[in-house]
Amino acid sequence: MRFHELVAVSEGVLVEAVAKAAGAAPDAVRQAAMMCGDLGDVASALVREGVNTLSMYSIELFRPVEPMLASPCESVSEALQSFGEAAFELKVDGARVQAHKAGSEVRVFSRALRDVTPAVPEVVEALRAFPAREVILDGEVIAMQPNGTPYPFQETMRRFGRRLDVDKLRSELPLTPYFFDCLYSEGRSLVASAQRDRFSTLAALAGSFTVPHRVVSDDASAAAFFTSAIAAGHEGVMAKSLVAPYAAGSRGSAWLKIKQVRTLDLVVLAAEWGSGRRRGWLSNLHLGARDPVRNRFVMLGKTFKGMTDELLEWQTAALLEREVGREGHIVFVRPELVVEIAFNDVQESPQYPGGLALRFARVKGYRPDKTAAQADTLQSLQDIYRATTGREAPSRRDIDA
C-alpha cells in the first residue's frame, strides 16, 4: 500500500507503530517513508536489516516522493511577517506533477504518486529538451485558454481520464507545464538545499517553463504581485521561505498559499446531522441561490467547513425551528436563513439542478441583516462562470432535470 493511501487510517499512528516496533526514531521512519513513497517497504526493510537500513532511503530517479504541501495564509502581509523576505510565485491551479528524467527516459507522476506519463506528452517533450541529463522537478500542468488565461481546474483534469484519446484531447486541450522546484540534478539530491538555491538550479534548467516568481520584502510589491496574478486568471500566489529545505510529504509553514476569496450570500435549504465530534449537531449545509425567473431556490452544493462549535450549536437550534421535513439524516428547512459563503470558483456540476457548483465552499458567517429575498441569484454564479471560463453557463433546461 502506498504511503499516501494510509493517511485516512492515520499516518502518524502507523509511523509511530513502525518506529516503536523497530526501535527507530519516528522522524527517521517518516523521512524514509516520504522518500520511498511506501511505508510498507520501509517497515519490511527494518524487520530484515534493522535501523541502519533507514540511511539508504534518499531521493532517486523514477521513485516519486510525497510532494511538499503549503499551508493557507490570509494575506500577503501576513506571509511577509512570517518570512521577512520571501519568494512570491503564481499559484497555478492545475494538476500537480513530479517529472523524472534520465537521458531520454522521462516519467511523470501525479500528486498521488501514480505514473501518468502517457497523459502528458507535453511534459515529456519539455524535459527531453532540458540541458540536464538527470533531473527531478516538481510542478503543475495546466490547460490555457486562447487568450492566455487558465482554464478551470476541472478542464485540466479532463486530460487525466481513463481510456481517453490523448492525441485528440491534446489538440483540443493542450497542457502547459510550469515547474516550481528542483529536487534532484545530475546525481545530486537537492531536498536539503535552501529554497533560493533550488530556484537557481531550476531557472537554469527549465527556463520559460519555470513558474514566474519574484523575491520581495515589502507589502506594496507583494500586493502588486498578487493583484497581477489574479488579473492573469490565477487563483492566487505562493509565498516561500528562501532558506527552507524541501520537506517531502509535509505541510508546514515554509510554503504559504494566499488565494483570492469570493463570497456569496446564499440560503440554507437543508442540513445533515453530523458524526463523530459533530454528532448531535446539524452540520453539512445544503446551499441555494435565488432563481427569480422560476421563483425558486436552486441548490449549488454543500459545505461543513468554517464552523465553530458555537456556530454549530446556534445553527442546529435555528434550523430545527425552521424544519419542514426529514429524509434519513437530512433535515429540510424553510429557506429563510442567509449565510455568507466563501469559495474559490464556480464549476460545472451535473449533480446539482442548476448545473453549477461552488468549489471549496466554506462558511464565513450568517447574515441576520438579510432576508432570503436579498440572497444572491443563480445569474450571479452564471456570470462568474462565464467570466472565468469564457464559456456559456449550463442551460436553464438543466434545472428541470
Does the annotation count 91 as an active-site position?
Answer: yes
Q: What is the DSSP letter of 122?
A: H
Query: In terms of Cα–Cα distance, which of 81, 164, 166 is closest to 124?
Result: 166
Q: Outline where 207-294 has alpha helix (H).
A: 219-231
C-alpha cell, 246 = 524541501
Vertex 212: Cα angle to 206 and 217 (nearest 5): 125
Rounded to an integer, what distance in angstroms lies between the CA atom of residue 202 and that of residue 90? 16
Strand pairing partners for 101?
A: 106, 135
C-alpha cell, 378 = 443563480
Going from the C-alpha of 48 to that of each of 51, 53, 141, 246, the distances in angstroms are 10, 9, 40, 29
- Strand-pair category, 69-72 with 251-259: parallel
Q: Rounded to 5, what percent of the chain is helix, strand, coil?
A: 35, 35, 30
Query: In terms of Cα–Cα distance, which of 200, 236, 193 is closest to 215?
Result: 200
Direct distance between the N- and C-terminal alpha carbons of the chain, in angstroms, rounded to an integer: 41
Strand pairing partners for 303?
A: 285
Q: Which of 20, 91, 302, 370 is catalytic?
A: 91
> Helix or strand or coil: residue 95?
strand
Rounded to an integer, what distance in angstroms lies between the CA atom of residue 212 and that of residue 183? 18
| Residues annotated as catalytic (active site), given as ranges | 91
